[in-house]
Each structure stands twice: as C-alpha cells, then as structure tokens.
Amino acid sequence: MDATSKKLYEMKAEAIQAAGHPNVLFVHVREEQVRAARYGVQPIPVQVFFDKDGREVFRHVGFFPQEKIEKKLAEMGVK
C-alpha cells in the first residue's frame, strides 16, 4: 500500500472511532494476507461486523457508504 492510501485508511478509521464507534480496523489484503485469510476476506472491499464477544454478526461485500455503516452499527446497539 502506498503512503497516501495508508494515510487515507488511517484517517477514515480515526474518523469512525472519533464518532464513537468501537475498534475499526482496515486491512490491506495484499499486504496482510494472513489477517485477511483469518477473517475469510476474499473479494474486496468487505466489511465484517463483530459483536462484543468477537462473533461475526454481519458481512457486506462491496462499497458500503458511511451512512449505511452508521445505520448498521445503530442496529447493533452501537451509539
């Protein structure tokens, strides 16, 4: 991942966390193949939501707008 892309990932994660959302992790699948495999990520982009116990509760493949991410988190009880 080039420096610009990495900075964009970091900025997006910081913005989501600053909004009160817990533990947001962006994985660059080409550079972190083991982590991607651990969570079963093959197509990209993919968003995986886990509950507080680490169980997967929702998975979305493809672009997922910020508004829909926030809606899904609200449905999960995340404020």
CATH number, domain at 19? 3.40.30
Domain carrying residue 33: 3-75
* Look-up of token digits 């989501």: 16
In eight-state DSSP terms, residue 54 is S
pLDDT band at 15 (very low <50, low <70, confident <90, very high): low
Q: What is the pLDDT of residue 50?
A: 84
The rounded distance, in Å, linking the Cα atoms of 47 and 36 is 11
pTM: 0.58
The rounded distance, in Å, linking the Cα atoms of 53 and 41 is 20
- pLDDT of 39 higher than 60: yes
Q: Total structural domains in the chain?
A: 1
